Amino acid sequence: MDTQWPRWEVFKQDSPNKPHQAVGSVHAADPEHALLTARNIFARRPQAVSMWVVRAEDIYSWTQEEVAEGQMTKGESYQAQVGQYLVFRKTSHKRSMTFVDYVGEVEAATPEEALKKAQATFTDALALAWWIVPADRVYKSDPSPETIQSWFAPAKDKTYKQQQYYATVGSHISKHKVGRGVEDEE
C-alpha cells in the first residue's frame, strides 16, 4: 500500500453535558485531516457538538487486569513529560454502547503518575480500562459557535436520513414485524 498514515482515536461529544467518548479511529496525515475525516465518518447524523482526535501512539492505556497485576510501565513508547494529562475511563462492559469516556484532567510528571492520580481522583466507579493522554497531544474541533454550526448543524436539516421520515409508508409494518429491535439503539 502506498500510504501508511497514522491512526487517530476519535472522541465525540454528543451534547454539551455529556463526556467525550472514544467512538473509533481514522487514518490521517495530520491533526486537521484527522478531524475532518472524523467528522465525515462519525457525525453524519445530528449527534455531535465537539470532536477530539489523538494519535493512537500518544494514548497510554491500561486494562483492569494490567492494573490488578501491577503492570504499570508501557514499554519503549513510554516518555516522561511533566504537565496536564487527560483521563479517560471505561466502567461497563455489560452492553454494546459503553465507551471509554473522558472524566477529567490531572497534573503529573509521567503517564504512570497520571494513572495513579486518576485512580485516586476518579473513584466513583470501578474502571475496566484507563486511557491517559498528554494534554498537548489532543487536537480539538474549534469550539466557536460558528464552527459548531457549520460542522454539526447541517446533519439536523437532512431529515431524509432518519428512518422516521418514511414512517408513513406501508400500512402493515407492525402486522408483519417479527423479532425485536436493535439492542440499545441510540
Partner 1 sequence: MPVKYGVPSDPDYNERLAEFEARIKRGEKIEPGDWMPEEYRRQLIRMISQHAHSEVVGMLPEGAWITRAPTLKRKMILVAKVQDEAGHGQYLYHAAETLGVSREAMLEALLAGKAKYSSIFNYPTLTWADIGTIGWLVDGAAIKNQTMLAACSYGPYSRAMVRICAEETFHHKQGKEMVLLYAKGTPKQRQMAQDAINRWWWPALMMMGPHDQDSPNTEVLVRWGIKTKTNDQVRQEFINEHAPEILEAGLTLPDPDLRYDEKTGNWLHGPINWDEFWQVVNGNGPMNKERLEARRRAHAEGAWVREALEAYAAKRQRTAVAV
Summarize as ranges the residues that interact with partner 1 (CB under 8 A): 1-5, 7, 23-30, 33, 40-42, 44-45, 61, 63, 65-66, 71, 90, 93-99, 128-129, 158, 160-163, 165-167, 169-170, 172, 176-179, 181-186
Q: Minimal distance in Å, beta carbon 145 to partner 1? A: 26
Query: Shortest approach of partner 1 to residue 86 CB, angstroms?
Result: 18
User: For partner 1, which is the closer residue by CB, 33 or 140?
Assistant: 33
Start-to-end CA span in the chain (Å): 36
Element (H, E) at 59: none
Residue 94 CB, shortest distance to partner 1, in Å, is: 6
| Residue nearer to partner 1 on the CB measure, 124 or 186 | 186
**Residue 91: is it exposed, middle or buried by C-beta count within 10 angstroms (0-12/13-18/19+)?**
middle
- Whole-angstrom Cα distance, residue 66 to residue 92? 17
Shortest Å distance, C-beta 114 to partner 1: 18
- 3-state SS, residue 7: strand
Q: How far is the CB of 40 from partner 1 (least distance, A)?
A: 7
* Distance separating alpha carbons of residues 122 and 173, to the nearest angstrom: 47
What are the DSSP calls for 92-158, one per residue? --SSSS---EEEEEEEESSHHHHHHHHHHH--SS--SEEEEEEGGG-EE---SHHHHHHHHSHHHH-
- Identity of the residue, 23 or 106, whose beta carbon is nearer to partner 1 in the bound complex: 23
Closest CB to partner 1 among 7 and 156? Answer: 7
Nearer to partner 1, 95 or 145 (CB): 95
